[in-house]
Structure 1
Amino acid sequence: MTKALESLDRSRSLSELNPRIGEKVQIETRAPRTRYSVQLLGYRENGSMMVSAPKNAAVNAGAQVTVRLMTGNFICAFSARILKIQTTPFGYWHLEYPKETEIRRIRSHTRVPVNLLVSVDEFEQGKGLRHDWPVSAYCTDISLSGACIDASVALGKQGDKLFITTRFSVAGVDQIILTPALLRSVTPQEGSVSKVVSHGLEFLDMDDDTHLILAGFVYQQFLIETGNLEILGV
């Protein structure tokens, strides 16, 4: 996977990031080591940060925790002390306002590793190199702009157009996408036990609904890879 997170040259304060009230926040306690998904209730610069209290959390005021949240295309992480635990009129925590935060930007064309079964078909009937369409193959990485697909045979030559169909789950809901793609590269893998040909594909003319579904899947897989899936509560 290409590097998906970019470190920023300088740290940003929480107020500069301006997270929205209601954003998902991940709290990680150290003893016992547990992760909780909570909501941001508010914050005051140089004061405190207020989050909803996680259920059944075995932690006391004064404990150090790691806080992660996502706002826009940034992931923010910092250490904080629990200043106060309130139980009335509802459960919430006051966390120490961070003096320093680690900020990373999510790159717009992040490629994420996957293992998806895909069906590859010719773009125009009778114009391809093969006559046994559709061909089953495996997608090994994917982004919003393209994918890498491995097959036991060459699916075409550079510049050919193909149709790609695959199924995956986004937030527990099965989705099927069908999109045209341009074959950018065809590379036989050396040293494989069985014949494997890798194909670099660029997605073409993707409609808005398909693009939205794909964006949700890539974003979800990215969070799994970086250990931040709980931030979205998926």
Structure 2
Amino acid sequence: MKKHSVDLNSDMGEGFGPWRFGDGVDQAIMPLISSANIATGFHAGDPNIMADTVALAKRENVRIGAHPGFRDLVGFGRRAINESAEKLVNDIVYQLGALREFARLNGVDVQHIKPHGALYMLAARDETLSRLLVETLQTLDPALPLFCMESSVTFRVAKELGQPVVREFYADRDYDTSGSIVFTRSVQRLDPERVADKILRACTEGRVATVDGGDIDIDFDSICIHSDTPGALQLVEAAHAALTRSGIRIAAPSPRPAD
């Protein structure tokens, strides 16, 4: 069934001091998306960048989300860190709190949370981490939506415990037959039109190609295009244009409650 509305999200504020990861195109991407996942200082981001990015999202009426990662500035949060679930969740709480204060200064709310990179992928397969993360969110903010893949352990645990979730579709990543993305530390430049076609097929047919040449069913509430993917602005522009032409409204998602 064709989607009538879909969220378009991207990771924002991914720099540190004068350094900017990727093309440094937050100003151009922000007006085209409906949700911004803002780096919270561990894989990227610093207080000034967080403050500026929150203010930019507010100006463009874009939903603000916390994007906590591993404590890994050098590796951009794409390297797994062998640490206990308790310590990793404490890191997430710390980062969420930092962004919430900058949001409060701007008179807006943090409206979702989405782990970054290798932390996202670890939670997607690790029951202990996902369960502790969701239990902690249940205490801090049981209404805070958690972004995850429908095929993930995180999604299953969140549904079980009653935390609202937003299911993601990754336009600029490959899929395997399990419905998970193929995690990579280095992404090549992609053809914007092919990415737009992939998005439209997922939105209208509910199907996506896999790395082994087959197809799988896919369902989602939000489309992610990473701002650090080479040529990210062109990808977001192509996606925005294709969705608009097809009559699919770009809007912040309504989180899925537990069944």
Flag whether TM exceeds 0.5 (same fold): no
Instruction: Report the TM-score when normalising by structure 2.
Output: 0.20
More strand by share: 1
Larger radius of gyration: 1
More helix by share: 2
Higher RCO (CA 8 Å, separation ≥ 6 residues): 2
Instruction: Report the TM-score when normalising by structure 1.
Output: 0.22
